[in-house]
Amino acid sequence: MRLPDVHARRDIFNQQLAALPESLRAVEVDRIVDAMEGFTGADIRRTIDDAKSLYAYDRAYESSLRPLTDYFLAAVESVRKNKEQYAAAEIQARQQRPSRPPWFNVGMPQIDDDDD
């Protein structure tokens, strides 16, 4: 499956944004969508959830509030960092166990890789 292009990301983001209260929708959509290059639909949803959490934290602890777009951009960076860490951990796990364990193929027909 291909990653959503800029138009698809914008559509996904706008759909998710529409579900938020009006007060949280005043953001620079194009700037945020451009920052989400390489994101899946799930990553976009995670970004919105993270942005809401960052905003709620600042409101709860009476911190000075930033422009809403900044919360979304901070969430984009957080999601991107998590994706990179996950990819690195997956590579490390594959290097530690490069092949399937022997029990994985129990009962499966064996395929001969020789082209004789």
Q: Which pLDDT belongs to residue 91?
A: 86
Burial track 31-53 (b if 16+ CB lie within 10 A, e otherwise):
ebbebbeebebebbbbbbebbbe
Topology given in CATH for the domain delimited by 6-98: Helicase, Ruva Protein; domain 3 (1.10.8)
For Cα atoms 92, 80, 41, give the angle at the middle one, nearest 5 degrees.
105
Residue 93, token pair as written in the block: 């796990």
Each residue of 10-32: pLDDT tens digit? 999 999 999 999 989 999 999 99
Q: In the chain, where are the structural domains located?
A: 6-98
Name the nearest CA neighbour of 17 among 2, 33, 40: 33
Each residue of 58-115: pLDDT tens digit? 999 987 899 999 999 999 999 999 999 998 998 888 888 767 666 666 666 666 555 5
